[in-house]
């Protein structure tokens, strides 16, 4: 009997990536306050949230269940860029990223009973120069509204990205290599690893 796996997220992107790795799992989203704490660094913030998401769900289940939590932040300088609440917000964020390099920091956390582990992955993303028109047209597509940093690399905004250094899947929301390593360490088998 393989260990039961729960993904503490309702993100369709994370779900797709975990399916791509060949895992059987159920999604149970964690509802948390995602406010950034004073003086909290981006790496600490995503690690804390990933662990909190996994932890809050793990408490509801038996100790043989592994819960995977994840959190992704888009970071420019030391600013954590959230989801845009309006077109004005989207313009501010994407003008900031335009023509510059930013980081996408993703944390994954696994919790099983008393055991917990967190891995943080950082990827550098280079954006092309964006015009105000391009940003407005992009907003009209509806894509940036629910995305940290006001863009989704796997969607229309992929054309804004000149280059990345690091994990592409981490920018989408779940670093594939690190996730497979972490789950393997917790004894979770995928269809790729089963005999």
Q: Where are the domains of the chain?
A: 4-185
Q: So what's the pLDDT on residue 192?
A: 80
Residue 1 has pLDDT above 80, yes or no: no
Report the C-alpha gap between 186 and 100 in whole angstroms: 38
Report the C-alpha gap between 31 and 132 in whole angstroms: 35
Residue 91 has pLDDT above 80, yes or no: yes
Residue range 158-168, pLDDT digits in tens: 999 999 999 99
11-19: long-range pairs with CB below 8 Å, 24+: 11/70, 11/173, 13/152, 13/154, 13/172, 13/173, 13/174, 14/70, 14/173, 14/174, 17/169, 17/172, 17/173, 17/174, 17/176, 17/179, 18/68, 18/174, 18/179
Q: Can you tell me which residue has the tokens 């932040």?
A: 73
Q: Which residue has the higher pLDDT, 194 or 114?
A: 114
> Which residue of the set 33, 64, 71, 126 is catalytic?
71
Report the C-alpha gap between 82 and 93 in whole angstroms: 9
Q: Which CATH architecture has domain 4-185?
A: Alpha-Beta Complex (3.90)
Residue 2 has pLDDT above 70, yes or no: no
Mean local confidence (pLDDT), 177-186: 96
Q: So what's the pLDDT on residue 194?
A: 63
Residue range 117-145, pLDDT digits in tens: 999 999 999 999 999 999 999 999 999 99
Q: So what's the pLDDT on residue 154?
A: 94
Mean local confidence (pLDDT), 140-163: 95
Residue 95 has pLDDT above 90, yes or no: yes
Residue 193 has pLDDT above 80, yes or no: no
Question: If pLDDT is split at 50, 70 and 90, which confidence band does 3 have?
Answer: low
Facing residues of 4 across strands? 65
Asked whether the CA dihedral 126, 131, 135, 137 is positive or negative, the reply is negative
Residue range 7-25, pLDDT digits in tens: 999 899 999 999 999 999 9
24 included as an active-site residue = no
Q: So what's the pLDDT on residue 191?
A: 85
Q: What's the mean per-residue pLDDT of the chain?
A: 94
Residue 113 has pLDDT above 80, yes or no: yes
* Model pTM score: 0.92
């Amino acid at each position: 009997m393989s260990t039961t796996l729960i993904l503490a997220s309702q993100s369709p992107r994370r779900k797709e990536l975990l399916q791509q790795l060949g895992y059987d799992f159920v999604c149970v989203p964690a509802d948390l306050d995602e406010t950034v704490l004073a003086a909290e660094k981006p790496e600490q913030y995503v690690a804390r949230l990933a662990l909190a998401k996994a932890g809050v769900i793990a408490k509801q289940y038996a100790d043989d269940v592994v819960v995977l939590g994840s959190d992704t932040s888009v970071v420019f300088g030391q600013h954590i860029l959230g989801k845009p609440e309006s077109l004005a917000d989207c313009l501010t964020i994407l003008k900031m990223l335009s023509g510059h390099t930013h980081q996408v920091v993703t944390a994954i956390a696994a919790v099983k009973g008393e055991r917990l582990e967190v891995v943080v992955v950082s990827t550098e993303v280079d954006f092309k120069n964006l015009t105000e028109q391009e940003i407005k047209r992009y907003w009209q597509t509806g894509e940036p509204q629910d995305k940290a940093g006001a863009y989704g690399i796997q969607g229309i905004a992929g054309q804004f990205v000149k280059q990345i250094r690091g994990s592409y899947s981490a920018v989408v929301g779940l670093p594939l290599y690190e996730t497979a390593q972490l789950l393997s360490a917790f004894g979770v088998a995928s269809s790729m690893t089963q005999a």
